[in-house]
Structure 1
Amino acid sequence: MVLASGLALTGCGGAGDAPTGSATLGTTANINSHPRDDLRDGGNLRLAMTEYPVNWNTLQIDGNDGEYSDMIFPMMPRSFITDASGNLTVNHDYFTDVQMTSTNPQVVTYTINPKAVWSDGSAITWEDLASQANALSGKDKAFLIAISNGFDRVDKVERGVDDRQAVITFRQPYAEWQGQFAGNAMLYPKNVTHDPDSFNKSLLQGLGLTSGPFILQSTDKAQGRIVLARNPKWWGATPKLDTITTSVLDRATWTAALQNNELDAVLLSDLTDVQNVRTIPALQVRQAPSNRWRHFTFNGAPGSLLADPALRVAISKGIDRQRIADTVLNGLTDHPQPLNNHVFLRGQHGYQDNNLPFDPDAAAKELDALGWVRKGDVREKDGKKLNIRDVMYNDPAWVDIAKLIQQDLAKIGVGLTIETKPGNRFFADVIQPGDFDVCQFTFTGDSFPLASIPQIWGLYPNDVQANYGRIGSPDLNALIDKTLSEIDPAKAVELANQVDRKVFEEGHSLPLIQSVGNYGVRSELANYGAPGLASYDYTMIGFLK
């Protein structure tokens, strides 16, 4: 799972057009599908992001951002592609076969497409997979990894029948083995992953070797512009587009830029955005339930104001997430609902409601029992006020949600100070160091939800990954380990829901709402828009003749 500070869905609105969303995740995509013959050759796809990449290695903790991944996907290998339902197919551009060839011990064999090469013409080999497996294994803490992705369970990676085959043997079973080089996890060349210095620093200014239908043509950090062009060494189907240009723009300006014909597609923030797009004949609203979700995460690090899990749970019970859903999703979906699971998205196989119900009376009683005495508007204990800093990207959508939470918490004597930050280095300088009492940002999931369980909710010494609140327990770690070791899919889902309930009970974080997935898109753009769980075929994106 990757992070995104500025890309998410919200909206405060009233009556108007019919709601855009009623389907569930895993049932649909809306990308204006067309065959290649309907598309013209050439063209420039213009997209936006909120922050210029701090690190172009998305496996590294500073590069773990959903916007970075979206921009880099057309240039890097992934082992599986997904459809709108999350069903997997081997990505034959890179691998002729990927399969589990043994269960005791678990062995997975990757056979690399003999045509697959890096952008300098050198072959993709088993050594690239082995190097990445070693970097993410956690053996050397100098690799500042964003996610271990199951490689902490790998015993060895060996050469198979030739250099184009990698054989991965696990010392512990791993349930999410198909996602190790798929979803949000891309394969990087061994010159990036072979040592900590290269892993952490070699891609600070841009990408080196790539392998996709597009390559990095130019970057301009001062202007906030990144241009991808067709890869002349690409062996697959020729892309229809000539270039993809991504511009760094403040989130609040995206829809206006689309309306002004400065962009071709954007994620829409609210009902007003949807209505504005609908007024332009050359634009469409494309909608499919999205894999992005908003959350409210506590800082429980030792010595922090919210270090006591009982305090975090009491505060959680004072937040009316249904009211947030009703307010924010009003006019965007038929039946607004909060997200009630940390691991699975609503509509995804495995989803069930494991939440702690909204109960402000119980919250107040629990705060009393913990010694937080109400004095005026805000409770106090040992001379310290229960006034918490809620830190977020400076986006009106986030502030609207924070104000709703602020109103709820005021009723139980908890103060909430809303503190906004710019997008530049938001994660690197604010979230990763834990400069918050609570924080709000967006997670972007994929078809491999179990891989994120240790990344976000496991607590391991000197290995934060994405557990920025530093919250966890030995019991939760043991349950996570048991879940990931279960290669029976049905049993793994059952255990993952036990993990989810435990995460609620530890007061780690509160899932808020899932994105309805509204995109404003130029009508002539085909095979792009609201993908749901599906992965894009970047060779098929283009403009209609």
Structure 2
Amino acid sequence: MSHDGVGPRAVMRSVAFLAAGALAVPFLAGCGSDEEEVAKPLAGQDIAPVARDRIADGGTLKWAVDAVPETLNTFQADADAGTNRIAQAVLPSMFRLDATGRPVPDPAYLESAKVIETEPRQVVLYKLNQQAVWSDGREIGAADFVAQWRALSGKDSAYWTARNAGYDRIDRIERGASDLQVRVTFSRPYADWKSLFSPLYPKDVTGTPDAFNDGARRKLKVTAGPFTVDKVDTAQKDVVLTRNPRWWGRPAKLSQIELHAVPRDKRAAALADGSVDLADIDPAEARRIGLAAHGGANPLRGSGKTSVKKLRSWALAHGLDSDEAESDQTELRKAIAGYLDEQQALRGFEVRKSLEPAYTQLALNGSEGPLADERVRRAVARALDRTALAKLVLTPLGLPAIPVGSHLALSGQPDYADGSGAIGVMDTKEAAALLADAGWVSGGPVKEPKKGDKAAGPESDKGDKKDKGDKEKPSDGGRDGQYIVGEDDKGDDSKGGDRGDGADRHLAQEGRHGGAAGAYAPQGTAAPGAAPAAPLAKDGKALTLRFVLPSGPGSETLNTVAERISAMLEQVGIRTTISKVPDDSYFKDHIASGDYDLALYSWPSSAFPATDARPVYAKPAPAADGSVNVEQNYTRVGTDQVDQLFDQAAATLDEGEERDLIRKADARIWAAAGSIPLYQRPQLVGARRDLVNAGAFGFQTPVFEDMGYLKKGAKGAPSPISPTK
């Protein structure tokens, strides 16, 4: 997650919301009609699975990451996806996720964990694996559970924690019948108890505020996983993990894992020169790897002399940057020769692909302006062809192009059900009728705005203006879905969540989440050319919405998706203005502060939506200082009914009832039309061909001890991935 440059919290005005309940009710009865059907993940793992006996012992896996983590403590505000990846390799987790995103006990640490009492209070009994020990030889036990609970309960403000959800419901933790049993008693029922103690830190880290706040930022002296943290080298941009000699499970096949920070636009080169063996990549790099597997034309070969014009055309067509393509003939030939050498090296790699456990949405800011009217938001939703948008992004990658039907789960997860019926399918006539009902008239008079007045839709266009001489900063991708919110933040129901001051604590740039950027259009794709409807106006103001996007290199495909959405909205008379803002301010200065009408960003799915999704959709409420507390609800759209359904879901211990409540909450979120899920994000990974049990993991937690390289002469499973064209 990115946490730099936290700006002052923007002052937000009070928000009046239209009730969604009446609109949602007709659909709630039907939202569970297919409950007996079990949705499958749209795409499975692609990790080149191989049995352990065919994997060589030893070797180093060099794995590209976006940055060296600022902290190794996942419960701190500046933890990121790299923090989580390290924790998965070196720390206990009572539950891990399987291929469908379900939490399952990890037998390396747990013999069992279950609710043994519900009256008068909920009691969970953990029976620990008797072989489970910390790297200093001490048994994992109740003392570690107690220390973590006290650190995360929210009762001691000396602990700088990013989240407390669930831990604040614990009343006490006791030793069970033996040292290997831990009894956790809750003060009130908690459905998502399986989310707790994953990861579990040793009491050395959680026992005191100083150790928690600072001691685990750059080192973890005591661990309990197949690997240990050997060093964190910020100068070399490396984190080195080595085999844990005290690991009691299946021995790790790899001797070492090096997490190396590599910019996204340098990853193809890093794969080619051997700097990394595994890297999340963008579609352009995936295409390069696909082309390398099939060879390709060499413009430098042959007896005839190729013209500079043809060389430049070839260079641009193959992804060389414009500076290289426009250099003189000698330098241009050197650049092409270097590219061809890299292509030869890339023949040793393949693309592994799946779908990330995250989805991209169109966010509609309902705090003020036209989108404060639910009818206008619903009109926007009815104007969108979500299937066409999913195809635009996923079909070129050979991935299933099916729109996401839930805000709270993805296909394959137990809580998933398509609740989009609460808003309805694309229907431009219905969209036009909703706009007319809201008072927006086709061809109505538009008054010239007075100096200082704002247009009906957009905020100021300050994001479009740059200081003199200010160049656009390079983008980490700048594509749709670049920003994943809340990846590692589980909310904070004891502290009321974030009010926007430091809102990018809930921001993870897409690379740090481990996936590929989310909007990919075929080269040359244009927005549809149907004639737009006449513009709409109300009270002398035109209906124009400000569509805020990050700027910088690599944002072209994001623009394509935004333009396609804008063209769809034009069919019903809604005009948009695309406002490009610097990448480093896109989220904290625009999304989190509410300075936008429309925007594209992504949310991760969760195995525990009752807990994790509540702050995302909670109804904004007045704060003590007179501002509005939006928690993580950056669309500012919420209802009392949704809040109540989340609260009920979190408090029931009946899994079927919890699932039904989650699906009802999702239907009401759809009806409120604050955010429109579009498609599940693609996950593209470049991997050495002989690297197995690693790649595009999908929902499942990686099994680090099974990763490795094929023995000489051994054959791996054939990859299901055809080269990306």
TM-score (norm 2): 0.62
The alignment status of 1:490 with 2:656, answered yes or no, reads yes
Residue range with higher mean Cα deviation, 377-386 or 255-264: 377-386
Aligned-partner Cα distance in 1 for 2:60–2:46: 21
Q: Which residue number in structure 2 is paired with residue 19 of structure 1?
A: none
**Kindly tell me: are residues 368 and 469 of structure 1, through their superposed partners in 2, closer, same or farther at Cα, counting changes over 3 Å?**
same
| Structure holding more strand per residue | 1
Aligned-partner Cα distance in 2 for 1:290–1:508: 23
Q: 1:403 is matched by which residue type in structure 2?
A: E
Q: CA deviation at 1:188?
A: 2.9
1:111-152: CA deviation from partner (whole Å, max 9, x where unpaired): 333443444555433233234334544556786655544334
Aligned-partner Cα distance in 2 for 1:52–1:157: 35
Aligned-partner Cα distance in 2 for 1:328–1:27: 15
Aligned-partner Cα distance in 2 for 1:432–1:222: 32
Q: Which residue number in structure 2 is paired with residue 454 of structure 1?
A: 614
Aligned-partner Cα distance in 2 for 1:180–1:138: 14
**Kindly tell me: are residues 437 and 220 of structure 1, through their superposed partners in 2, closer, same or farther at Cα, counting changes over 3 Å?**
farther
Residue range with higher mean Cα deviation, 494-503 or 89-98: 89-98
Contact 1:277 1:520 (8 Å CA) reproduced: no
**Kindly tell me: are residues 360 and 141 of structure 1, through their superposed partners in 2, closer, same or farther at Cα, counting changes over 3 Å?**
farther
Q: 1:324 is matched by which residue type in structure 2?
A: L
Q: Which residue number in structure 1 is paired with residue 578 of structure 2?
A: 417
Q: Which residue number in structure 2 is paired with residue 507 of structure 1?
A: 673
The correspondence for 2:701, drawn from 535, 540, 545, is 535
Aligned-partner Cα distance in 1 for 2:202–2:535: 56
Q: Which residue number in structure 1 is paired with residue 99 of structure 2?
A: 84
Aligned-partner Cα distance in 2 for 1:435–1:198: 39
Aligned-partner Cα distance in 2 for 1:510–1:3: 24
5+ residue gaps, structure 2: 4-38, 294-346, 447-533, 624-628, 712-725
Q: Secondary structure at the match of 1:539?
A: helix
Aligned-partner Cα distance in 2 for 1:51–1:464: 29
Q: Which residue number in structure 1 is paired with residue 546 of structure 2?
A: 388
Q: Secondary structure at the match of 1:33?
A: coil
Q: How many residues align?
A: 521
The alignment status of 1:402 with 2:562, answered yes or no, reads yes
1:76-125: CA deviation from partner (whole Å, max 9, x where unpaired): 21112444245654223223332221233321112333443444555433
1:323-368: CA deviation from partner (whole Å, max 9, x where unpaired): 2111111233475221111112123334222122333444444445
Aligned-partner Cα distance in 1 for 2:187–2:107: 28
Q: Which residue number in structure 2 is paired with residue 319 of structure 1?
A: 384
**Kindly tell me: are residues 371 and 204 of structure 1, through their superposed partners in 2, closer, same or farther at Cα, counting changes over 3 Å?**
farther
Q: Which residue number in structure 1 is paired with residue 74 of structure 2?
A: 58
Q: CA deviation at 1:46?
A: 1.8
Name the % identity.
30
5+ residue gaps, structure 1: 5-22
Cα RMSD, aligned residues only: 3.9
1:462-481: CA deviation from partner (whole Å, max 9, x where unpaired): 78664344542322111111
Contact 2:268 2:285 (8 Å CA) reproduced: no
The alignment status of 1:297 with 2:363, answered yes or no, reads yes
**Kindly tell me: are residues 139 and 460 of structure 1, through their superposed partners in 2, closer, same or farther at Cα, counting changes over 3 Å?**
farther
The alignment status of 1:283 with 2:349, answered yes or no, reads yes
Aligned-partner Cα distance in 1 for 2:612–2:168: 13
Q: Secondary structure at the match of 2:396?
A: coil
Superposition map of 1:335-354 within 5 A: 336-354=401-419
Q: Which residue number in structure 2 is paired with residue 17 of structure 1?
A: none
Q: Which residue number in structure 1 is paired with residue 51 of structure 2?
A: 35
Q: Secondary structure at the match of 1:388?
A: strand
Contact 2:135 2:224 (8 Å CA) reproduced: yes
Q: Secondary structure at the match of 2:706?
A: coil
Q: 2:618 is matched by which residue type in structure 1?
A: G
Q: Secondary structure at the match of 1:155?
A: strand
Aligned-partner Cα distance in 1 for 2:205–2:365: 32
Q: 2:381 is matched by which residue type in structure 1?
A: S
Q: Which residue number in structure 1 is paired with residue 258 of structure 2?
A: 245
Q: Which residue number in structure 1 is paired with residue 601 of structure 2?
A: 441
Q: CA deviation at 1:308?
A: 5.1
**Kindly tell me: are residues 324 and 469 of structure 1, through their superposed partners in 2, closer, same or farther at Cα, counting changes over 3 Å?**
same
**Kindly tell me: are residues 107 and 286 of structure 1, through their superposed partners in 2, closer, same or farther at Cα, counting changes over 3 Å?**
same
Q: CA deviation at 1:498?
A: 0.6
Q: Secondary structure at the match of 1:70?
A: helix
The correspondence for 1:332, drawn from 390, 397, 402, is 397
Q: CA deviation at 1:426?
A: 7.7
Superposition map of 1:426-437 within 5 A: 437=597
Aligned-partner Cα distance in 2 for 1:380–1:197: 58
Q: CA deviation at 1:525?
A: 0.6
**Kindly tell me: are residues 405 and 250 of structure 1, through their superposed partners in 2, closer, same or farther at Cα, counting changes over 3 Å?**
farther
Residue range with higher mean Cα deviation, 201-210 or 313-322: 201-210
Aligned-partner Cα distance in 1 for 2:710–2:661: 47
Superposition map of 1:116-155 within 5 A: 116-137=132-153, 146-155=162-171
Q: CA deviation at 1:225?
A: 2.8
Superposition map of 1:12-27 within 5 A: 24-25=40-41
Aligned-partner Cα distance in 2 for 1:221–1:379: 55
Aligned-partner Cα distance in 2 for 1:370–1:199: 53
**Kindly tell me: are residues 465 and 127 of structure 1, through their superposed partners in 2, closer, same or farther at Cα, counting changes over 3 Å?**
farther
Contact 2:250 2:705 (8 Å CA) reproduced: yes
TM-score (norm 1): 0.81
Aligned-partner Cα distance in 2 for 1:201–1:382: 57
Q: Secondary structure at the match of 1:62?
A: coil
Q: Secondary structure at the match of 1:440?
A: strand
Q: Which residue number in structure 1 is paired with residue 117 of structure 2?
A: 102
Q: 1:297 is matched by which residue type in structure 2?
A: A
Aligned-partner Cα distance in 1 for 2:537–2:160: 39
**Kindly tell me: are residues 315 and 53 of structure 1, through their superposed partners in 2, closer, same or farther at Cα, counting changes over 3 Å?**
farther
Contact 2:101 2:607 (8 Å CA) reproduced: yes
Aligned-partner Cα distance in 2 for 1:480–1:504: 15
Residue range with higher mean Cα deviation, 332-341 or 492-501: 332-341
Between structure 1 and structure 2, the one with the greater Rg is: 2
Residue range with higher mean Cα deviation, 109-118 or 495-504: 109-118
Q: Which residue number in structure 2 is paired with residue 11 of structure 1?
A: none
Contact 2:40 2:412 (8 Å CA) reproduced: yes
1:198-227: CA deviation from partner (whole Å, max 9, x where unpaired): 656655556564332222223333553322
**Kindly tell me: are residues 465 and 504 of structure 1, through their superposed partners in 2, closer, same or farther at Cα, counting changes over 3 Å?**
same
Q: CA deviation at 1:282?
A: 2.1
Aligned-partner Cα distance in 2 for 1:435–1:209: 45
